[in-house]
Structure 1
Amino acid sequence: MSAVDTRPGALQAAGALLQRDLRLAWRRRGDAIQPVLFALLVVMLFALAQGREPQALASVAGAVLWLAVLLSGQLAMERLFRDDAADGSLEQWLLAPLPLAWLCLVRVVGHWLVTCVPLLLLSPLLALMLHLPHDRIGLLLASLALGTPLLSLIGGVVAALTVSLGRAGILVALLSLPLYVPVLVFGAGALVAAGNGQDSSGALLMLAALLAAALVLAPLLTAAALRISLE
């Protein structure tokens, strides 16, 4: 009976934490829009530097879009747990009757909703700016929908490891970027394979497998990293 009673409590706590994070993001919407503007600027500058050759832009559009999304996500990664550590909320998380890994997963989901979903909505426009063929825009959205949650989960582990260091933006990027390499390879590789007339389903399946593994392992690693950082 106790196992049945804890499930609604976990869902209610997740909903309350997610609503709080979304409200804070709305109050700080200037900070929330920075990743979108950064990705837009990266694509615009690359298009200007590459020239006006549509074929040349289309051949590298997938890699450029993935790099823009990956780098823009770093802007908000440092703040994932920093404010909670500063006001003592993380200590309350440790004392809560809910698993710390569950709370970490909810926080990462909130980060993905605030940071990555706007990028997903903007990605078709960015793809058109780089002359990506229309028949590959759906593949781009599919790869980003599988890859961006994976980036947030991996970044959450790194942010938890460095939460006690205060402002560690550069360190977070240095630690997380090498871990993003497999996601970048499979995400951009799906578009490259489609451009070469090859089957891109293998890359999408690898992204899905990595995401399934990260959904299980990353919250546990994030919780362990927070406990280490707060000791």
Structure 2
Amino acid sequence: MTAALLAILRRDLARLLRGAQGGALGSGIAMPILFFLAVAIIFPFAVGPDPRLLARVGGGVIWVAALLAAILPLDRLVEPDIEMGFFDQWALRGIAEEGVIAMRVIAHWLSFAPALMLATLPAGALLGLDGTQLGMVELGLLAGTPGLAALGVMVAAITAGLKGGAALAGLLVIPLAVPILIFGAGALASGGASGIALCGAASLVLVALAPFAGAGAIRAGR
């Protein structure tokens, strides 16, 4: 069973990294990262070049950009496998949906979060964050992005098969992710570790809940 789940993880990660059209390895993560950097580049032009203003709101901008980058592949997380009958085949082979969804959460996180944290370095420079602020943002992203990945997979499973499911999934993820964004950006504003701890706690709850909620939605749809 462990070998089967690891094989599913490798397959999911490769598919997410290749993108919707099955392109070259790494093409799937290019769009979220380019989107993330585009937000960081455009924002200073929108609010002006005041370095103190940029430093004050820059962490929140990074968090919003990270959320939007995380929800870009929602339409590819669950629905294609349901349509092609993969979940039915896995169930017939004795692989529980909870295990498959857990692997999907890990694959989704690996496909965007590490690259996003690297892209935060130039984004932080563009937004005028100093070293301490940038470190807090990186720690917050490390604590919060697993929750964003889990939330994305869970909502994608719940909305799979619905008309306009991808758009609905995005609309559901954004308000549900607000606690993670509040704690993550709040850690930068307060300069303390309590916000990061709360962000990690909210993320851990979502990671624990996602396999069961996603699996239940898939079985209900079947």
Q: Given the two structures, how large is their TM-score scaled by the length of structure 2?
A: 0.91
Q: How many residues align?
A: 216
| Kept in 2: contact 1:82–1:166 (CA 8 A) | no
RMSD: 1.5
What's 1:13 paired with?
A: 4
Q: How far apart are the structure 1 equivalents of 2:36 and 2:134?
A: 17
Q: How far apart are the structure 2 equivalents of 1:181 and 1:78?
A: 21
> Which amino acid is 2:88 matched to?
E
> Which amino acid is 2:14 matched to?
R
Shift of 1:97: 1.6
What's 1:197 paired with?
A: none
Q: How far apart are the structure 2 equivalents of 1:47 and 1:139?
A: 20
Shift of 1:190: 0.5
Match of 2:39 among 39, 42, 52: 42
| Kept in 2: contact 1:78–1:167 (CA 8 A) | no
What's 1:68 paired with?
A: 65
| Kept in 2: contact 1:35–1:72 (CA 8 A) | yes
| Kept in 2: contact 1:161–1:226 (CA 8 A) | yes
> Which amino acid is 2:4 matched to?
A
> Which amino acid is 1:14 matched to?
L
| Kept in 2: contact 1:76–1:115 (CA 8 A) | no
- Partner deviation per Cα, 1:165-213 (whole Å, 9 max, x = no partner): 265222111111110010010011101112xxxxx21111112222332
Q: How far apart are the structure 1 equivalents of 2:57 and 2:201?
A: 25
Shift of 1:217: 1.8
Farther off after superposition, 202-211 or 122-131 = 202-211
> Which amino acid is 1:79 matched to?
R
Match of 1:216 among 182, 205, 208: 208
Q: Over alpha carbons, which structure has the higher Rg?
A: 1
The structure where helix makes up a greater share of residues is: 1
Q: How far apart are the structure 2 equivalents of 1:141 and 1:96?
A: 40
Match of 1:122 among 119, 123, 129: 119
> Which amino acid is 1:163 matched to?
A
> Which amino acid is 2:188 matched to?
L
Q: How far apart are the structure 2 equivalents of 1:60 and 1:101?
A: 38
- Partner deviation per Cα, 1:129-186 (whole Å, 9 max, x = no partner): 1001111211111100110110111111110011112652221111111100100100
Percent identity over paired residues: 34
| Kept in 1: contact 2:159–2:166 (CA 8 A) | no
Where structure 1 has 5 or more consecutive residues not aligned to the other structure, the ranges are: 1-8, 195-199
* Within-5 A mapping of 1:97-136: 97-136=94-133
> Which amino acid is 1:54 matched to?
P
> For 2:77, what is the secondary structure of its paired residue?
helix
> For 2:134, what is the secondary structure of its paired residue?
helix
- Partner deviation per Cα, 1:54-75 (whole Å, 9 max, x = no partner): 1111010011000000011111
Q: How far apart are the structure 2 equivalents of 1:13 and 1:166?
A: 32
> For 1:105, what is the secondary structure of its paired residue?
helix
> For 2:157, what is the secondary structure of its paired residue?
helix
Q: How far apart are the structure 1 equivalents of 2:210 and 2:13?
A: 22
What's 1:171 paired with?
A: 168
- Partner deviation per Cα, 1:25-54 (whole Å, 9 max, x = no partner): 245333321110111111111111122211
Shift of 1:113: 0.7
> For 2:161, what is the secondary structure of its paired residue?
helix
What's 1:5 paired with?
A: none
